[in-house]
């Protein structure tokens, strides 16, 4: 991939002057002046309808952003990404979560060898294992069927599985799913306190098998299990997902119970691999395969569609527009589906661990903004929590509104109310409410002249707040796969344009090392080093 500082491109310079021309324009006027605006700035693809017309853009903005993508060699970068080049250069690895959902007849070489046969082999193992657990062929050590599954992992080994399992709960079978991630002992003990070791299956999921949280939780669970079960039965109840087969075996998990993964799958993009075993156990292999299939369809769309009609490319460019020109610091993701409750926190890792970088691909400090801060909660709950700040606060917060045309339980009355809110909010964010409208409203309610003058400033909404409306037919495993892959590719595009490496996470690695160092010092019961604040806190804790 070429290393191009985006701010040195012609398009960037043109965007800067274009920004000055349109920064104060109101979207309301853009709609008044163009009857076809919605049509011009929307993309309908398969079961997705994405309207991005409620953005502070004109056709010129879009052309310049597309020019920026071209000047930053996005097309070439996409080819490098999908073909397995080692684009994660600081770890010398390809980035191939897309291979996990590719057509099995394609050839994708890593270090000279086609990885697809191996991917298919692991998929078959996932399928057979989950089928046997679900249908009861594989039983616990006393011959009883499994009733509960516990996923022990953190970061990408937890967030993807827990988010998808929650999102697709409607499609779930009888197995009760639990997720232990935090090293907080209260998390693990609270989870296992009511579990029956005879009927519980434990999945220890760690790409590296060195993560403190996961190994501590797995050890605690194993000790709890061994209190009532003979050691030789461990193999019936513990399986692992990892690249580190040796470490898994020395932990005491049977070689046959290991589901391998590969260093070319990043932790935060690994739910498509055996890391998604809990997903497959919860919803069955056919649904898991549909999830992968949906993601593959988005991969094909991303690879093969012109940038103008390309969903991940357009969403990434809009985000750059706000981040780098309007200097917006954060973006909100608001799913209008309670099932997608965990989607914003999943995206926080995917987006912020990937693009939270301040050094470019040449190893130089960047002199422009990179990764956006991501946050969000489902609508309508979030409307009654933080929407006030989006509507009337001082910060510009572009937001993605994700909704579904059909609800799963088909309760039309509820669905209509939910969707009325979904549409009303983006419309309100666009239009706001001006002084005349406030005046009219208060007059209608018989307020006095004095009261109207006093209240007016507080009741005015500027509007002009950008939103993308992502409207999907129905929440299914396939549409969920498409939605996740949409954001994965948005991350990629932004990383390419910002000229950063999106697939390492050295900042998090540092945190892991420092915690281990402090943990070792606890044995001394008297800490003498560190800065005075940390030292005082440590000693206060230890006494």
CB of 158 to ligand F6P, least distance (A): 8
CB of 159 to ligand F6P, least distance (A): 8
When the beta carbons of 93 and 391 are compared against ligand F6P, the nearer one is: 93
- What is the per-residue binding string for ligand F6P in 473-512, x denoting contact by CB under 6 A? --------------------------------x--x----
Query: CA nearest 426: which of 57, 51, 58?
Result: 51
Our answer to whether residue 353 is catalytic in this structure is yes
Per CB under 6 A, 267 contacts ligand F6P = yes
CB 222 within 8 Å of CB 254: no
Dist. CA 287–CA 284, nearest whole Å: 6
- What is the per-residue binding string for ligand F6P in 188-227, x denoting contact by CB under 6 A? ------------------xxx--x--x-------------
Whether a cis peptide bond, with omega within 30° of 0, leads into 380 is: yes
Q: Give the pairing type, strands 200-205 and 113-114.
A: unpaired
Per CB under 6 A, 88 contacts ligand F6P = no
Per CB under 6 A, 382 contacts ligand F6P = no
CB 296 within 8 Å of CB 99: no
Reduce the DSSP state of residue 45 to 3 states and report it: strand
State the maximum Cα–Cα separation within the chain, in Å, rounded to a whole number.
84
CB of 205 to ligand F6P, least distance (A): 7
- CB under 6 A: which stretch of 112-120, 151-159, 324-332, 492-500 binds ligand F6P? 151-159
The residues facing 326 across adjacent strands are none
Size of the site for ligand F6P (CB under 6 A): 14
Angle at which helices 311-320 and 59-71 cross, to 10°: 100
End-to-end distance of the chain based on CA atoms, in angstroms? Answer: 54
When the beta carbons of 183 and 460 are compared against ligand F6P, the nearer one is: 183
CB of 244 to ligand F6P, least distance (A): 8
CB of 501 to ligand F6P, least distance (A): 14
- CB under 6 A: which stretch of 105-113, 119-127, 149-157, 167-175 binds ligand F6P? 149-157
Residues 153-172 that bind ligand F6P (CB under 6 A): 154-157
CB of 156 to ligand F6P, least distance (A): 3
DSSP class of residue 365 equals: B
Dist. CA 394–CA 397, nearest whole Å: 9
Structure tokens at 164: 């998808």
CB of 357 to ligand F6P, least distance (A): 14
Our answer to whether residue 512 is catalytic in this structure is yes
When the beta carbons of 160 and 344 are compared against ligand F6P, the nearer one is: 160
Among 395, 405, 512, 517, the active-site one is: 512
Reduce the DSSP state of residue 500 to 3 states and report it: coil
CB of 173 to ligand F6P, least distance (A): 26
C-alpha to C-alpha distances, 511 to 35, 108, 372, 491, nearest whole angstrom: 53, 34, 21, 23
Judged by CB under 6 A, which of 236, 268, 297, 465 binds ligand F6P? Answer: 268
Beta strand residue intervals within 75-163, DSSP E: 109-110, 113-114, 148-152
When the beta carbons of 4 and 359 are compared against ligand F6P, the nearer one is: 359
When the beta carbons of 158 and 400 are compared against ligand F6P, the nearer one is: 158
Per CB under 6 A, 514 contacts ligand F6P = no
Q: How many CB atoms lie within 10 A of CB 539?
A: 14
C-alpha to C-alpha distances, 155 to 23, 147, 369, 404, 410, nearest whole angstrom: 38, 25, 25, 28, 34
Kind and range of the H or E run holding 332: strand 330-335
Our answer to whether residue 364 is catalytic in this structure is no
Residue bearing tokens 């993009």:
269
Among 166, 353, 478, 488, the active-site one is: 353
When the beta carbons of 154 and 298 are compared against ligand F6P, the nearer one is: 154
Q: Which residues are catalytic?
A: 353, 384, 512
Residues of this chain that interact with ligand F6P (CB under 6 A) are 154-157, 206-208, 211, 214, 267-268, 353, 505, 508
């Amino acid at each position: 991939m070429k290393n191009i500082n985006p701010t040195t491109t012609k398009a960037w310079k043109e965007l800067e002057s274009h920004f000055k021309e349109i920064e104060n324009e109101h979207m309301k006027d853009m709609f008044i002046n163009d009857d076809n605006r919605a049509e011009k700035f929307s993309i309908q693809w398969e079961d997705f309808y994405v309207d991005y017309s409620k953005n502070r853009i004109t056709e010129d903005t879009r052309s310049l952003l597309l020019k920026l993508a071209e000047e930053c060699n996005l097309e070439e970068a996409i080819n490098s990404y999908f073909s397995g080049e080692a684009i994660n250069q600081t770890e010398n690895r390809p980035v191939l979560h897309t291979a996990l959902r590719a057509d099995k007849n394609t050839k994708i070489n890593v270090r000279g060898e086609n990885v697809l046969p191996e991917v298919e082999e692991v998929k078959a193992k996932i399928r057979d294992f989950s089928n046997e657990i679900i249908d009861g062929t594989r039983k616990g050590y006393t011959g009883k069927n499994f009733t509960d599954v516990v996923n022990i992992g953190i970061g990408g080994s937890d967030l993807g599985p827990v988010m998808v399992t929650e999102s697709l709960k409607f499609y779930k079978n009888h197995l009760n799913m639990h997720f232990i991630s935090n090293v907080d002992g209260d998390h693990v003990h609270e989870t296992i306190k009511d579990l029956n070791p005879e009927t519980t299956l434990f999945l220890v999921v760690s790409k590296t098998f060195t993560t403190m949280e996961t190994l501590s939780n797995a050890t605690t669970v194993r000790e709890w299990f061994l209190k009532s079960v003979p050691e030789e039965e461990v193999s019936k109840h513990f399986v692992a997902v990892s690249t580190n087969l040796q470490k898994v075996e020395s932990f005491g998990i049977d070689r046959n119970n290991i589901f391998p993964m590969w260093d070319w799958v990043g932790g935060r993009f690994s739910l498509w691999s055996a890391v998604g075993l809990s997903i497959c156990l919860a919803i069955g292999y056919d649904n898991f395969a549909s999830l992968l299939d949906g993601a593959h369809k988005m991969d094909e769309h991303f690879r093969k569609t012109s940038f103008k009609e390309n969903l991940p490319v357009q969403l990434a460019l809009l985000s750059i527009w706000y981040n780098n020109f309007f200097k917006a610091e954060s973006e909100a993701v608001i799913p209008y589906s309670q099932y997608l409750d965990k989607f914003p926190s999943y995206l926080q890792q995917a987006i912020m661990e990937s693009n939270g970088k301040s050094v470019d691909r040449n190893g130089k400090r960047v002199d422009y903004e990179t990764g956006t801060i991501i946050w969000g909660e489902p609508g309508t709950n979030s409307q009654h929590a933080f929407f006030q700040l989006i509507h009337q606060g001082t910060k510009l917060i572009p937001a993605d509104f994700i909704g579904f045309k059909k609800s799963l339980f088909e309760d039309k009355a509820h669905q209509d109310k939910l969707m009325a809110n979904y549409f009303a909010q983006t419309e309100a964010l666009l239009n706001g409410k001006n002084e005349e409208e406030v005046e009219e409203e208060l007059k209608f309610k018989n307020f006095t002249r004095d009261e109207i003058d006093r209240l007016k400033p507080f009741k005015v909404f500027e509007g002009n707040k950008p939103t993308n409306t992502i409207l999907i037919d129905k929440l299914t495993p396939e549409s969920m796969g498409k939605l996740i892959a949409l954001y994965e590719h948005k991350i990629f595009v932004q990383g390419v344009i910002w000229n950063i490496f999106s697939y390492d996470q050295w900042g998090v690695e540092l945190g892991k090392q420092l915690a281990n160092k402090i943990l070792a010092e606890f044995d001394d019961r008297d800490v003498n080093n560190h800065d005075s604040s940390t030292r005082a806190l440590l000693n206060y804790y230890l006494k």
